[in-house]
Structure 1
Amino acid sequence: MTSLTARIEAGTPATRDRALDGLRALALLCVPLGHWLLGGFTRTPDGAIHNASPLVAMGGFAPVTWFLQLLGVFFLVGGHASVLSFNRSAETRSWLRGRIARLGRPVLGVAAVWAAALPLLHALGVPADSLRTAAVLVVQPLWFVGVYAVTTALTPLCRRAARRFGGWSALPLLAAVAVVDLLRYGPWSGAVPGWLGLVNLLPGWLFCYQLGVAWGEGRIGGRRSGTALLLGGAGLFALLLLCFHYPLSMVGVPGAARDNAHPPSLLVLALGAAQSGVALLLHGRLNRLLRRPRLWTAVVLVNLSAMTILCWHQTAMLLPALTTGASTALAGLTTAPVGPGWVAARLAWLPLFALLLTGLVAAARRFEQPWRTGALGRAAAAVLAAAFTLYACTVV
């Protein structure tokens, strides 16, 4: 570790903005932590496992999601990094092709592996309902990749808007989400088609990305911008909760009439603005903190495996549930997520999930690198991934 730390420290340019990498690592690690804490299983008499959420029985747990849902920070940092990378590139098409390939390879890898694993698990006696649960969980975080790919493709337009309007270029995106929410939840909501909420998908997640592009272009930044975003976002967040009765949870709750996350509601943007403000305010301090070599090494290692962590963290939670006996009910794993006892038991499982994820990352990180399997290998992976996608679409 000492040698690795020394090599990473020596290979880091003095001009590297370490705070951006630190913010990205923090936002990324909150994804598995959030899913591991807010996702549970129940086991039916036939031994099958099914998804369950502790938020159904423990509504007071919802404010925890305010601190675990850091996708706004991830998109903020993504916009900042993308526009700097784009400004250094010589040609837009090759730049975009490289970015999309980096996103797509790990997704193709996890889908291909699970496509091969499903029939094997079925042959070993794993119930069909358990396999459906597994497919749902594996696919669940992958929506993010598609949305992020689209926002990345819009970087040239985002840069143009940021150069002309600065941070105000994100305001029309906020307004668009507000209008859709008004139509969905206003007095006339009964006459509005259910698909209208999908309109929020792009502007909802592009909002913080656009702020990040403006930050990367030097149009926002520092204490003034950070304070404005923090106070404005926090004020809107409180207003929506107290006066307009938005759901407390930032993630979906099974059976709830409204969902803040899928698609993103105005509350998600308010939280993202506040989180972006905190990121701007702490940027300099975080940069100084990450001058510590060991801490910086941890950040680098997380970022080098970012997509692998995203793609495989649900598998790390699934493996213990799938491999325990069909008649076994383990507290915090396959018992109903109700009460403080379940929370304490689930916290005890987290080190095992983290250990399993570390092993999966070590094995699957090769998918992030350019593949050298040849055309036949890539075609086989594509066929397997397509088969898993088809299966997942029938059960999600």
Structure 2
Amino acid sequence: MHRPTLRQDVRTDVRTDGRVDMKDGARTAARTAVRAIATGIRDGARRVDTATPAHRDRAVDTLRAFAILGVVLGHWLVTALVADGGTLHTASPLQHMPWLAPISWVFQTLAVFFLVGGHVATKGYASARARGTTYGRWLRSRLARLFKPVAAVLTLWTLAVGGLLAAGADFGTVHTLVKLALSPLWFLLVFAGLTAATPLLTRLNPLWPLAVVLHVDLIRFGLGGPSWLGWVNVAAGWLVPYTLGAAWTRGELDRRRAGWVLLAGGAAATAGLVAWAGYPASMVGVPGAAVSNLDPPTTAAVTFGLAQCGLALLLRAPLRRITRRPLAWAAVALVNLSAMTIFLWHQTAMMATTATGLLAGRLPGLHTTPAGLSWVAARLLWLPAFVLVLAVCWAAFRVYEQGGRRSGGRRSQVVLVHNSGRTQAQATDRA
């Protein structure tokens, strides 16, 4: 039997060892890079955690983050842009599969946002008064943080609409896109109005606006009153969780009993209204439906919001425990730092992905009619793409929310939060 010579053995070993060494080196370098990234994230999270004031209620920020992300995911899951020839029109899986209505119960989280907003605004106004800050100065500061990011959205979509119409795009398609892109602005207008009225709302009992909602619905649906009367509930309906937030500030909701009463009472009332009063089961609007629970808000939407607020209040203690972990708290802080940017651009991210996808044809879950579970499965696969495009929008436009370089080249304290835990404490304490 032929045996290799010593020289052949040496050459084989050199070649084999070389390949092994190269593979081992690549693996070692990859592991080192991953460890370095993980270490950097942990160190940054610890700095943010250490710099956060001990008196800060982390549950408030966590609830706000959940509310924003719930709205974003809800829109991405129940809003479809269907390609029909050369046009796009909106559709919803809830329109074709009404048994999916419980999805809207999970992701329609606006009541929690208004609850937190009312709590933060009334607490912040009381603090401003104690410091001697005037109402006008306090209000300008609050509204500036809301509306600065809006300028970028309006500018981009004004240019986009002009470009689309000049290129001969179908007017119906352009109208659909603009309506989706700017739909988050109604929420900001309502929230800004309630913020401006905060001094008048600090002692208002939530039962008063709830009574208004009940009477408006009774006149509309029970007595055949005009449909336009429902728009009174745009203010009254969201005033209910906002004034609950004021009651939270006053310490009236500190006991767990309050949370259980709101959760049980709100859930029972909503179930009764859906089962026996004819209100839709979906807590979001469904194209083609005779009645929408959200546009304008109905009594069912408000009672459902009460249940959500009760659950939020019950979750405060567990959320405080969870966010004692530096990584969890750093993630919450990052979402809060970019809350308006995420909220304002998430629809644009979805539409940009949809428009880009048209270059490859009519894709399932992106351009097809949401009429079956196959569409739902395909849409779930598209969510990472939406997240990626939203991250690009965040990188491009977050400066309008967080501030940029000031005169002299010094960066805003809000932006420095990414590099310094000390400024994170300052930035989030003003949120």
Give me the TM-score of the superposition, normalised by structure 1.
Answer: 0.88
Q: 8 Å contact 1:130–1:322 — kept in the other structure?
A: no
Q: 1:365 aligns with which of 356, 376, 398?
A: 398
The answer for the alignment partner of 1:12 in structure 2 is: 52
Cα distance 1:313–1:286, how it changes in 2: closer, same or farther (>3 A)? same
Amino acid at match of 2:300: L
Unaligned 5+ segments in structure 2 are 1-40, 408-431
* Aligned 1:1-396 pairs, distance under 5 A: 1-46=41-86, 48-89=87-128, 90-122=133-165, 126-161=169-204, 169-186=205-222, 188-189=223-224, 192-325=225-358, 328-369=361-402
Larger Rg: 2
Distance 1:302 1:82 in 2: 19
Amino acid at match of 2:216: V
Q: 8 Å contact 1:83–1:217 — kept in the other structure?
A: no
Distance 1:129 1:2 in 2: 49
Offset of residue 318 of structure 1: 0.4
Offset of residue 225 of structure 1: 0.9
Question: Deviation per CA, 1:337-375, whole angstroms, max 9, x where unpaired?
Answer: 11000000000000110111111111111111458899x
Q: 8 Å contact 1:23–1:279 — kept in the other structure?
A: yes
Amino acid at match of 2:230: G
Cα distance 1:116–1:239, how it changes in 2: closer, same or farther (>3 A)? same
Question: Deviation per CA, 1:211-230, whole angstroms, max 9, x where unpaired?
Answer: 01110121222211111111
Cα distance 1:267–1:303, how it changes in 2: closer, same or farther (>3 A)? same
Offset of residue 116 of structure 1: 1.7
Structure 2 SS opposite 1:49: strand
Amino acid at match of 1:336: T
Q: 8 Å contact 1:49–1:321 — kept in the other structure?
A: no
Distance 1:128 1:323 in 2: 19
Amino acid at match of 1:160: R
Q: 8 Å contact 2:338–2:402 — kept in the other structure?
A: no
Higher relative contact order (CA 8 A, sep 6+): 1
Offset of residue 277 of structure 1: 1.0
Distance 2:277 2:206 in 1: 23
Identical amino acids, percent of aligned pairs: 47
Structure 2 SS opposite 1:220: coil
Question: Deviation per CA, 1:256-305, whole angstroms, max 9, x where unpaired?
Answer: 11110011001111111111111111211111111011111110000001
Q: 8 Å contact 1:230–1:278 — kept in the other structure?
A: yes
Q: 8 Å contact 1:45–1:327 — kept in the other structure?
A: no
Unaligned 5+ segments in structure 1 are 162-168, 375-396
Distance 2:303 2:202 in 1: 22
Structure 1 SS opposite 2:183: helix
**RMSD across aligned positions (CA):** 1.8
Amino acid at match of 2:219: L
Q: 8 Å contact 2:337–2:402 — kept in the other structure?
A: no
Question: Deviation per CA, 1:1-27, whole angstroms, max 9, x where unpaired?
Answer: 233212311221011100010000001
Q: 8 Å contact 2:203–2:246 — kept in the other structure?
A: no
Give me the TM-score of the superposition, normalised by structure 2.
Answer: 0.81
Q: 8 Å contact 2:293–2:301 — kept in the other structure?
A: yes
Q: May I ask how many residue pairs the two structures share in their alignment? A: 363
Question: Deviation per CA, 1:180-224, whole angstroms, max 9, x where unpaired?
Answer: 0011111x21xx222110111111001001001110121222211
Structure 1 SS opposite 2:81: strand
Amino acid at match of 1:79: G
